[in-house]
Homo-oligomer: A and B are copies of this chain.
Amino acid sequence: MTDPAQMPVVGMAGGGQLARMTQQAAIGLGVSLRVLAGSADDSAARVCADVRVGDDSSLDDLRAFAKGCDVVTFDHEHVPEAHIRDLEASGVPCRPGPDALRHAQDKLVMRRRLGEIGAPVPAYSHVPPSAPPAFLESFAREHGWPLVLKAVRGGYDGKGVWVLEGLGREEADLVGRLTGQGVDLLVEEHVAFRRELAALVARSPHGQGAAYPVVETVQEDGICVEVIAPAPGLDGDLAAEAQRLALDIADRLGVAGLLAVELFETDRGLLVNELAMRPHNSGHWTIEGARTSQFEQHLRAVLDLPLGSTEPTAPYTVMANVLGGDDPALYPRYLHVMAHDPGVKVHFYGKGVRPGRKIGHVTALGSDPDEVRERARHAADYLRWGPAMGPAARDETKEDAS
C-alpha cells in the first residue's frame, strides 16, 4: 500500500490504550500509525490498520517494526534503553530519545538528575542491597515513618511502590523478598501533600514547548481515578511555577514528545513525584477539554511539527477512569449513562473487563467543578457497577432484602 500523499509513518511501540487514542489523532492528521502490539487483541491492535505483533523487548522485533518508520515513539517506558540506541544507530529517530527516556525508566537516574538541575524533589536515597533494613531504619530516623519504598525500574499504576508504616516482620519480609529477587530499591520520605497535581507539556526536537493547564489528580490505591482540569483553586503563581518547572525539565532532559510531571502540592511548595514521557492518564481530559489533544500534540512533537494550541474548551473538564466491575458486559450500560447526561463522553479501550482494571474513561465539561466532577463520577461508577452503583450500595440492597 503506497501512500499517495507521502505522509510520514509513526511507529509506536506498545499496543495499549495510549496507542489506541493516538490512532484517533493520527487519522485526523493523515499520519500513518504503526503499532507494535504484544497481541492482535491488544487495545490499539483492534483499531489500527498497520499492526505488527511482536515483543517490544526483543531487538529483532523492534528492528523489523521500525523498518520504514519515519520516527519511533512509545506508549510505555519498558523498551530497553540499549534497544532504543540500536534503532537510533540504524537511522530511525526515536522520540523521546534514549538519553531523555532513561529519566522515565529509572527513578534513581531521574531523582539524581532532577536534583542536579535544581528541581524540588522529596528526600530520597538509593537502598544499598547489602543491608536494607538497617538503612531504612536510619533513613526513617531522619525523615520519619512512614517511608515510601520504590522499585527503581518497571513500576507503574502503584505497582512497585510500597508505603512502610514501620519495619515490623511483614515489612522486613517484603524488603528481604525484593532484595532477594534483585529488585533495585529507592526509599523516599512520605510526603504530607495537600493534593497531587500534574503538569503536562510537549517539547519538539527543534525546541518548541507548550504547556497544558495544570490539573489535579485524584488517586485511589495508587491508581489515578480522576483528573480535574484546571486544578480547582490553584494559586496562579503556583500553576505558572508548575508549568515552568515542567517546561524546564523537558528542556534540560532533551525530551521530544510529551512530558507529564506528577507533582505534590505541599506546605513547602511543589515537589516532583514522577515523570512520564508519553501521553499520560492525567492528560486524557484534553481530548475534549483542550483545542489540541495530548495525542495529537505528541504526534506533532515527535514529528517536529509546530505544536498545537493548549487552550481549554470549557472552564472545567473532569476525566474519571472507568475500572472494570464484576460484569464483563459494559455496553448495555451506555444506555443509562448517555441518557442520563448527553454531555458526558465515553471512551472504552476495547479491553477485557476485569475487576479493578482500567478499561476506559469518561469526560465531562462545564463551569462548576463540583458539578462536573459529580457528572463524571456518576458515569464512571455506573459503567463499573451498573444500577447497584458500587459494592456499598449493593450491600445495602442485600441488607434491605434480608
Contact = CB atoms under 8 A, between A and B. Distances in A.
B8 A331 contact: yes
Interface string A299-339: 01000011111010110000000000000111100110011
Given A288-B291, A328-B6, A45 B49 contact: yes
A7 interface: yes
Contact of A305 (B29, B30, B335): B335
A1 B45 CA distance: 11
A351 B4 CA distance: 6
A51 interface: yes
B343 A309 contact: yes
Contact of A5 (B2, B7, B28, B350): B350
Given A313-B313, A334-B305, A359 B5 contact: yes
Contacts of A26: 47
A40 interface: yes
A126 interface: no
Interface residues of A, number: 62
Given A24-B24, A27-B24, A5 B348 contact: yes
Given A49-B47, A305-B338, A306-B335, A348 B7 contact: yes
A210 B338 CA distance: 13
B46 A1 contact: yes
Contacts of A287: 28
Contacts of A335: 305-306
A46 B49 contact: yes
A339 B5 contact: no
Nearest to A6: B329
B338 A300 contact: yes
A122 to B, nearest CB: 35
A365 B343 CA distance: 20
Given A6-B329, A46-B1, A49-B49, A365 B291 contact: yes
Contacts of A359: 5
Interface of A: 1-8, 20-21, 23-24, 26-30, 32, 40-41, 45-49, 51, 210, 287-288, 291-292, 300, 305-309, 311, 313-314, 328-331, 334-335, 338-339, 342-343, 345-353, 359-360, 365
